Homo-oligomer: A and B are copies of this chain.
Amino acid sequence: MKKYDVVIIGASAAGAVAASTARKFYPDKSICVIREFEQVPIPCGIPYIYGTIGDPMKNLIPVGTMFPNQKIDSVIDIAESIDLEKKVVHGKNEDISYDRLILATGSLPIEPPIKGATLHNVFAIHKNTPYLTKLMEQVKVSQKIVIIGGGFIGVEMAEELKKNNPEHEVTIIEMQDRCLNLVYDKDFCDLAEKELIEQGIRILTQSRVMEIKGKEKVEGILLDNGDVIPADLVILGIGCKANNQLGKLANLKIGPTGGIVVDFYMQTSDPFVFACGDCAEKTSFFDKTPSSLRLASIATMEARVAGSNLFMQHRMNHGVVGCFSTALHGKAFASAGLTSDEAVRKGYQIVIGDAESVNRHPGLMPGSALMKVRLIFEKSEGIIVGGQIFGALSGGELINAISAFISKKMTADDIALFQAGTHPALTASPIAYQLVNAAESASVKLRSFAK
């Protein structure tokens, strides 16, 4: 039986980063990663396979070349169970013993208990390349595509499928009253929907799917209002759940959102077993309540904590801030922390500062695009709890300044006095700089100077 100091199950974002972190922190330990497939898709790149990228084989994490450089062994196998007492992972092909184990088994798409969900040509977003290749083949021969769920995956898939072939009739069906409802404020969602509609995508909100109709293959979607939307391909984009199967089998503690419970150090209820990424239970940075957010940026952060703490405590996980972005119709939509609605739901009283400007100065400089920044502050202490950016693509980098503000609990005044680098060819002017001006606007409101 193979023996390793450190065994990691999973080689997507969390597993890969946990392995290389462990290597850096413990140069003398032997490390092995167990992964199910030869190829590991880039999770956030999946929607882009079906348009911009065009091929699942071009959307791969370079796991094969990453590990050998770091003296990390890699085994292709399916881990079927763990013997916590003997400290052994039982694989389909072989058993491997560990001294420390990291579970990075990721998440699985939620497949709803709708009648017809198992018909041919109904796909969820499974993060494995053979499955994604099958979906690609189906996309090529389909015309009427219905996407159930208007979250990130749903809207990105919709845009890419339309880009792939303008003849595609693409419909998004969303239960809530708007797409992207969980991650942006209402007006930002409206902007996003506008961009989608302009590309010829049909959006049906406040619509519940009652049944996926068809004999062998899908033929249509029955909505709660009685309408039937014709479909020859259905994609389920209604979220994901922790892949906790191995943990459950081993009797590790499971949390309220279905993740494997971990402490500040990413240690599970077994002190020799760590978990990180989508399979691990998460708590909010803000109020320490359970969080169902599943993001690669959280997975890699947790992996850096888990990998560092294997044999000695080095780092703590302070909970989920939530920082994410997408690009729709060439415009960035980025968000960090809480939306206004979510902040209010959590019991915060909030003050909002908005600012918008083109991202060049003067505005006629090349590459000029509108950028709108919103910052959301708690009212009594003026500490930032969230922020959103719409417009210029560089917003995808700028959102990380907001993530930094949140993680360091900066106040509106801190940010209003923040020394922002600006340049005519790169950003708005220092007078119009959106980040600072949004904070300044909130700062004035917080002082109750505003009428």
Contacts and interface: CB of A to CB of B under 8 A. Distances in A.
A301 B419 contact: yes
A422 B365 contact: no
A417 B45 contact: no
A106 to B, nearest CB: 13
A26 to B, nearest CB: 8
Please classify how large the interface on chain A is, using the bins under 10, 10 to 19, 20 to 34, 35 or more.
Answer: 35 or more
Count copies of this chain in the complex.
2
Contact of A24 (B299, B397, B444): B444
A268 interface: no
Interface stretch (A76-84, A124-132, A424-432): A424-432
Nearest to A425: B327
Interface in A303-326: 304-305, 314-315, 317-318, 320-326
Interface in A395-440: 395-401, 403-405, 407-408, 410, 413-414, 416-427, 429-431, 433, 435-436, 440
Interface stretch (A52-60, A166-174, A248-256): A52-60
Contacts of A361: 42, 44-45
Contacts of A425: 48, 52, 326-327, 393, 396
Given A404-B404, A424-B44, A417 B304 contact: yes
A423 B325 contact: yes
A16 interface: yes
Given A430-B13, A431-B61, A419 B320 contact: yes
Given A423-B325, A449-B24, A410 B413 contact: no
A362 interface: yes
Contact of A404 (B305, B418, B430): B418
Contacts of A34: none
A284 to B, nearest CB: 12
A201 B398 CA distance: 32
A42 B429 contact: yes
User: Lowest 4 CB-CB distances: which A-B pairs, in order?
Assistant: A396-B426, A323-B421, A397-B398, A327-B425
Interface of A: 13, 16-17, 21, 24-25, 27, 42, 44-45, 48, 52-53, 58-61, 295-301, 304-305, 314-315, 317-318, 320-327, 332, 334-336, 359, 361-362, 364-367, 393-401, 403-405, 407-408, 410, 413-414, 416-427, 429-431, 433, 435-436, 440, 444, 447, 449, 451
